[in-house]
Amino acid sequence: MAFTLYTLIQTAILCTNAIAVLHEERFLSKIGWGVDQGVGGFGDDPGVKAQILNLIRSVRTVMR
């Protein structure tokens, strides 16, 4: 229960790292979360899955 600010920073770094190490070909395409499978139509309703895929791709791009 004794969470410190340092644990918060640690958690943030570990989560960012976990998202950054998801490999594009070996893993994300296999489970249908690849880059080309996320973009739906051009409607104004991307949906939750498209948003998640966008988030993963942008985190990986920034951390490259």
Partner 1 sequence: MKAPLTAGKGCGEKRHEIFNTQGVEGASTTGKREAKHNMRLRNSSMDGSDGSQLFDDTSATGPGAQGVYRNQQAGPQAAGGLPGQSLLSDPMSNLAMAYGSSLASQGREMVDKNLDRFIPISKLKYYFAVDTVYVGKKLGILVFPYMHENWEVSYQQDIPVAPRFDVNAPDLYIPTMGFITYILVAGLALGTQNRFSPELLGVQASSALVWLIMEVLAVLLSLYLVTVNTDLTTIDLLAFSGYKYVGYVLVHISANIISSAVSLVNHQTLCFSRMILGVVAGLLFGKLAYYLSLLWCCAAIFVFMIRTLRLKLLSEAAAEGKLVRGARNQLRMYLTMSIAAAQPVFMYWLTYHLIR
Nearer to partner 1, 2 or 25 (CB): 2
Shortest Å distance, C-beta 58 to partner 1: 11
Return the structure tokens found at 58: 């942008």
Nearer to partner 1, 2 or 31 (CB): 2
Question: Which value, in Å, is the radius of gyration of the alpha carbons in the chain?
Answer: 15
Task: Report CA-CA distances (Å) from 56 to 1, 18, 20, 21, 42.
Answer: 30, 10, 8, 10, 20
Nearer to partner 1, 25 or 45 (CB): 45
User: Which stretches of the chain bind partner 1, using CB under 8 A?
Assistant: 1-5, 7-8, 11, 45-46, 48, 51-52, 55
